[in-house]
């Protein structure tokens, strides 16, 4: 977060968040107080055919670009009326812009005409921002969430964001390349003929996804079904019960009855009977049918609809750096997601947890030497948990298999580039070193390659300290003596395997940090 934006939040000035979506461009103007709370000052939304263009022809058409620029220019005038300064404007774009072949041209034209810099976010970041907003909205129910399993789902025009929480901890996260606009286009191809009924089509399309999720968390144990998005809020406005200012609740039966009722409506009837805009009515039934299909895989009797969107998530993410509790919760969910992935591939949990913990002890005690921060610390912690997942494929070359598994997985809160960095740590936690033929390493930025070398060196030493997989070494103290880094432990067991591990795996650490690593066993550590 920029210094100017931080100052803006501290002085309670209005902030604007713009979301360039697949079917509409939406803006919310909020006033943020110094304690991180906010109130909504204004909202605006305008329909635009971005998703219809991109999901059909992979490019944004000239007329659509012009329309989007006109909308954003109008939003700029509205922001000027609220005297919102440049550092207080945050503009994001999701799946439609993300997938457009001419996205760079679109982004440049928008900037040249409106001065707005659009940040294109990945699906995994959509998940993260949605989760932050939901957490804020259902804060009063956190105690119940921490004791129960829940599913959070947001159906957009171009993607579906899905999170499964087990006792409040992230068990699975998915960004599915399917949304209401894609469903409409695939259900009614260019021939104009519908091949399957809507519900049957959706069930068949998500059958494999459901099976995969069931291996991570049994959906039958889900107690709370959380529906996020404008479609869900339309339902809440008609049949929901207010649970406070930030969410509604409704029963499973009431929701299913509502869906059954609107299945008989045409789009024009939905507009008239529900009082919604035409572009909202077009996607309402496909969105609610997706919710219905996922809901019926659970036993949830309570549906929660937060009165928030990804835009509130963007705002709250800015407050993340100031709110230690929220930051700690984020890290906890990232690690929970990593543990769930490890369990999926049958990792040695005791060894993984210890290597991750030992990595943290080394990282924290060498802070002056490595000069890295919280982001890098989290990468190392996740890599410690997942460094051996490649054993699921084969013990031989498990470091390469682990890299491949992670590169083809999703972790809550980590972008594709973040995952690439962690996958490199897994790749180099054994004896091999990066070289010019390793494209996943060489295509990283220079500072990221240096980060990988430092963190891999630490991870190798931590892994060596549990070479025997017996968890003898649990607490260590580091001391620099001339050119030696002495690792002391009070462990009373046989450390011959760990000493061999240090000798065979510390070469990279020595090259990067300049210290020879020595393992020292003390009987009474810290007693003179």
CA gap 19, 498 in Å, rounded? 52
Domain ranges of the chain: 3-121, 124-317, 323-521
157: tokens are: 């025009």
pLDDT at 1: 41
How many CA atoms within 13 Å lie on the side-chain side of 19? 28
CA gap 26, 29 in Å, rounded? 10
Are 229 and 154 a contacting pair, CB within 8 Å?
Answer: yes
103: tokens are: 């996205």
pLDDT at 189: 47
Determine the topology of domain 124-317 in CATH. Answer: Nucleotidyltransferase; domain 5 (3.30.420)
- Around Cβ 497, how many Cβ atoms within 10 Å? 16
Q: Which residues of the chain have pLDDT under 50?
A: 1-10, 189-194, 319-322, 525-528
How many CA atoms within 13 Å lie on the side-chain side of 500? 6
Determine the topology of domain 323-521 in CATH. Answer: Hypothetical protein af1432 (1.10.3210)
pLDDT at 7: 45
pLDDT at 192: 44
Q: What is the pTM of this model?
A: 0.83
pLDDT tens-digit map of 60-100: 999 999 999 999 999 999 999 999 988 889 999 999 999 99
pLDDT at 165: 92
78: burial class by Cβ within 10 Å (0-12, 13-18, 19+)? middle
CA gap 486, 14 in Å, rounded? 53
CA gap 34, 37 in Å, rounded? 7
13: burial class by Cβ within 10 Å (0-12, 13-18, 19+)? middle
pLDDT tens-digit map of 355-365: 999 999 999 99
pLDDT at 194: 47
Longest dimension (CA), the chain: 85
pLDDT at 191: 42
303: tokens are: 């549906």
Q: What's the CATH number for 3-121?
A: 3.30.420.40
Residue holding tokens 């300049």? 514
């Amino acid at each position: 977060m920029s210094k100017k934006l931080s100052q803006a939040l501290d002085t309670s000035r209005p902030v604007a968040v713009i979301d360039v979506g697949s079917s509409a461009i939406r803006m919310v103007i909020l006033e943020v107080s110094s304690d991180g709370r906010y109130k909504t000052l204004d909202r605006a939304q305008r329909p635009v055919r971005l998703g219809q263009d991109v999901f059909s022809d992979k490019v944004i058409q000239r007329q659509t670009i012009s329309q989007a620029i006109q909308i954003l220019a109008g939003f700029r005038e509205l922001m000027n009326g609220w005297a919102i300064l440049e550092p207080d404007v945050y503009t994001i774009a999701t799946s439609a812009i993300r997938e457009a072949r001419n996205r760079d041209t679109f982004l440049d034209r928008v900037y040249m005409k409106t001065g707005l810099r659009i940040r294109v976010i990945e699906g995994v970041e959509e998940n993260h921002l949605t989760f932050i907003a939901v957490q804020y909205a259902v804060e009063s129910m956190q105690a119940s969430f921490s004791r129960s399993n829940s599913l959070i789902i947001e159906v957009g025009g171009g993607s579906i964001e899905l999170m499964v929480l087990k006792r409040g901890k992230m068990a699975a996260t998915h960004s599915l390349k399917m949304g209401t606009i894609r469903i409409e286009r695939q259900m009614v191809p260019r021939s104009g003929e519908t091949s399957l009924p809507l519900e049957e089509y959706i069930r068949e399309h998500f059958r494999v996804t459901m099976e995969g999720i069931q291996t991570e968390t049994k959906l039958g144990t889900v107690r709370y079904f959380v529906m996020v998005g404008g479609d869900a809020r339309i339902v809440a406005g008609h049949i929901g019960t207010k649970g406070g200012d930030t969410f509604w609740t409704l029963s499973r039966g009431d929701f299913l009855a509502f869906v059954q009722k609107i299945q008989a409506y045409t789009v024009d009837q939905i507009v008239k009977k529900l009082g919604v805009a035409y572009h909202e009515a077009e996607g309402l039934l496909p969105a609610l049918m997706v919710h219905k299909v996922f809901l019926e895989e659970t036993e949830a009797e309570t549906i929660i609809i937060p009165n928030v969107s990804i835009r509130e998530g963007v705002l709250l993410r800015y407050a993340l750096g100031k709110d230690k509790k929220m930051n700690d919760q984020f890290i906890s969910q990232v690690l929970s997601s990593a543990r769930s992935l490890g369990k999926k591939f049958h990792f040695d949990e005791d060894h993984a947890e210890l290597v991750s913990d030992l990595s943290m002890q080394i990282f924290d005690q060498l802070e002056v030497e490595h000069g890295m921060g919280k982001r890098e610390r989290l990468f190392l912690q996740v890599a410690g948990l997942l460094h051996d997942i490649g054993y699921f494929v084969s013990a031989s070359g498990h470091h390469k298999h682990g890299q491949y598994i992670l590169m083809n997985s999703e972790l809550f809160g980590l972008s594709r580039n973040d995952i690439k960095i962690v996958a490199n740590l897994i790749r180099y936690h054994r004896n091999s070193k990066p070289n010019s033929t390793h494209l996943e390493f060489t295509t990283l930025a220079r500072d990221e390659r240096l980060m990988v070398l430092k963190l891999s060196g630490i991870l190798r030493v931590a892994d060596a300290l549990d070479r025997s997989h017996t968890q003898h070494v649990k607490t260590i103290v580091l001391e620099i003596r001339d050119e030696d880094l002495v690792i002391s432990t009070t462990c009373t067991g046989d450390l011959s395997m760990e000493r061999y591990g240090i000798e065979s795996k510390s070469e990279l650490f020595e090259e990067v940090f300049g210290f020879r690593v020595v393992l020292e066993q003390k009987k009474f550590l810290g007693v003179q």
